[in-house]
Each structure stands twice: as C-alpha cells, then as structure tokens.
Amino acid sequence: MSTMNDVALRAGVSLKTVSRVVNGEPSVSEQTRQKVNAAIAELDFRPNSVARNLRTGRIDVVGLVLPQLSQPYFSSLAEAIMREAERHGLTVLIELTDGDAEAEMALVREHGPHLGGLLMYPVGLSDAEARTVAGIVPTVFMSERAYDAPVDRVAMANREGVRALVGHMVSLGYTRIAALGADHSDLPERSAAHLRLDGYRDGLRDAGLPCLPELVIDVHPQWSRQLGAAGVRRLIERGTSFDAVVAFADALALGALHAVQEAGLRIPAEVAVAGFDDTDEAGYSYPSLTSVAPGTAQIAREALALLNDRMNDAAAQPAERLVVADFELMVRESTLGGTAAWGGA
C-alpha cells in the first residue's frame, strides 16, 4: 500500500506539500497540485481519513442531498461530485428527499452534526430553514434560488440556456415553439422550472414572437419521460399547431421524441425537439437530441472548492458567494436542418 512518502518521492516534492494537497489547503501552486494529484493517481494512494481527522480536527465526510436520482441530471451530478470529492480526499454520503422540505430538514438535523460539510440541491427550504442548515454544518447549495442565509451557491444558467435554445430554434425557421416543463403550482419563484420558462419567454421576445398560453405545457410534479410524452400527446390530441418543442429537461425531451414519432411526425422536418441537461442519453437517442449542457463538471468542481474553503476556515470566508456555471448548446439531429432545409411538412 502506498504512503504519503511514496507520493512525495514520485512527485518530487516535500511530504508537507503532499499533506497540503491532500488536505485541500490553498497555499499550493496549481502546477504543484497537479503533480501531486498525478502521483496520487499513479500510486493509487488512499489517505487515512481517520488519522487525518484526528490530526486536523476536520471530518472528511460530506453529505450530498438531492431530490432524486431517477432524473438523469441528478445521477450525472452525483457522479461528478463523487469524482471531484475523491480529489479532495472526501467521502460522500448521498441522501434523497423527493423535494420535500420536511425531509430536507430532517436529514440535516439528523446527519448534519456528524458531517464535515454538506452539498445540497434544496427544493422546499424557506429562508429561515436555510439559515438553520447553515448553522448546523458548512453548506453549499446547488440552487438557482437566492436565500437570505450565509450559504454559498453554485447555480446553472437556466434562463440564459433556454433563451439560447429558443433562439436556435427560431434561427432554423421554427415559429410555433412549445415549452414543455412549466410548473405553475407552488414551487418557489426562483425554481429551475420558473427560470427556464422565463428563458423561453425571453427567446420568443427576442424573435418578436408571442408567448401563446396553449403552447406552454405544465408538467407536475416531476420531469420524466412519461410526463414529457403525455404533455406532447395533449398538444396533439387538442389539435394545437406546433413545429418545435423546447423541453426543460432531457427526460421530458426524450418522452417528447417518443410522442412525436408515435404520431407519425418527422423529426425535425415537421417537429424539432430539444432538451436541457445534455445527459448521456441525449447523444444516443434516435434522432440524437439537441440539448443545453449546463456545466455539470464545473458545478461539481466549484461546489467542492467552495465547500472545502468553508470546512477549512468558515470564519475567513465571505458571508455568501455565488458561482454561475457556463453553458453550451449541443446541437444534434433533433433540430438540425430546419423547415426550410427539409422542404417543410
């Protein structure tokens, strides 16, 4: 079994430098950190977390609280976080809440005092509850909603990503673009569903197109293939004219692809379909799915970096920090061509 001394020799650095890298301390140059991490990977070095915890007084176990793993985005995010956590020498415990505020708070109260830190995708928390969470354990929210609480956040560009997606559709000649995934229930105002609907409206406004209520499809309580297919079937059964679907999640978009093809419509000649999240399935669906890549790896990297800072010295950090991840439009077969290029319906 490899030791820190072995890592130091392989990287050509001091034992103290290896210790700093393993403990996530900031006082190491990026070049040196990369050398040490490369040596750790080559030697398959696994830090003794128990010994380190006793030495530093720091707990190297963090919680990851997500609504669910059945949505492809959340499973991709969990995998990215676990890979990034390993670089920091952290162990991740995953808990699921189904987006229920009581479940979120119950998990934090039960497990928070025994964790070194917490990464959380909150759905139902109030500002007061967010402040309570921050008081129990160093916390980073992966959330679009701003909380009146001393909690760092990493967010994705929900509104900007969907706005770009609508602009892409319009540039290809589509004008009756349906929005699949709206939620007009009791979700918080800054939820992903609301922000993505705002982005849809922004994109239509940019193009001088009206936002037609009959083209906005509510999906509740969660984004899934089944509900995506059901939403598009409702459009078709009502006889609503549409030539494109902007789905607020890839799971919804995959359901939409199924419903459109089930109705005998050609993609994208008659109906273009696009999603959000750029999950692995997007590249392997038939046709392959245009989607917004929200920067999942960056979200994981930034969230762990912020949390590591809090765990090392919470008092030295600003009251609240916000990082918004970059996004990229991944254009594939489900939109390429446009009505003009395909000769229309």
Domain boundaries, the chain: 4-47, 55-156+295-327, 158-294+329-342
DSSP string, 6-36: HHHHHHTS-HHHHHHHHTT-S-S-HHHHHHH
Distances (CA, A) of 291 to 249, 281, 295: 9, 11, 12
Q: Is 243 helix (H, G, I), strand (E, B) or coil?
A: coil
Name the pTM for this structure.
Answer: 0.77
Does domain 4-47 fall under CATH 1.10.20.60? My reply is no
Average pLDDT on 25-50 reads 77
201-216 residue pLDDT tens? 999 999 999 999 999 9
Average pLDDT on 332-341 reads 70
Strand partners, 293: 328
Residues 107, 75: contact at Cβ < 8 Å? no
Same fold, 55-156+295-327 and 158-294+329-342: yes
* Tokens encoding 266: 């050609």
Is it true that the peptide bond before 287 is cis, omega within 30 degrees of 0? Answer: yes
Average pLDDT on 310-337 reads 84
Burial classification of residue 315, based on how many CB atoms lie within 10 Å of its CB (0-12 exposed, 13-18 middle, 19 or more buried): exposed
* Tokens encoding 76: 């991709």
Choose the weakest-confidence range: 2-11, 34-43, 53-62, 137-146: 53-62
Distances (CA, A) of 35 to 13, 80, 82, 259: 9, 21, 21, 51
57-112 residue pLDDT tens? 457 889 999 998 888 889 999 999 999 998 888 889 999 998 888 899 999 999 88
Q: What is the dihedral of CA 188, 319, 56, 96, to 10 degrees?
A: 0
229-275 residue pLDDT tens? 999 999 999 999 999 999 999 999 999 999 999 999 999 999 999 99
Distances (CA, A) of 112 to 53, 105, 136, 195, 304: 17, 10, 6, 30, 17
Does domain 55-156+295-327 fall under CATH 2.120.10.30? My reply is no
Does domain 158-294+329-342 fall under CATH 3.90.650.10? My reply is no
Q: Which is more confident, 318 or 71? A: 71
Is it true that the peptide bond before 221 is cis, omega within 30 degrees of 0? Answer: yes
pLDDT at 342 over 70: no
- Rounded Cα distance, 267 and 334, in Å: 6
Contacts of 28 (CB under 8 A, 6+ apart): 17, 20, 21, 36
Residue among 128, 89, 125, 91 nearest 107 (CA) = 125
Structure confidence at residue 50 (pLDDT): 40
Strand partners, 95: 65
Structure confidence at residue 100 (pLDDT): 85
- Rounded Cα distance, 58 and 90, in Å: 11
Choose the weakest-confidence range: 39-48, 303-312, 324-333: 39-48
* Tokens encoding 111: 């497990």
CA 74 to the chain's CA centroid: 7
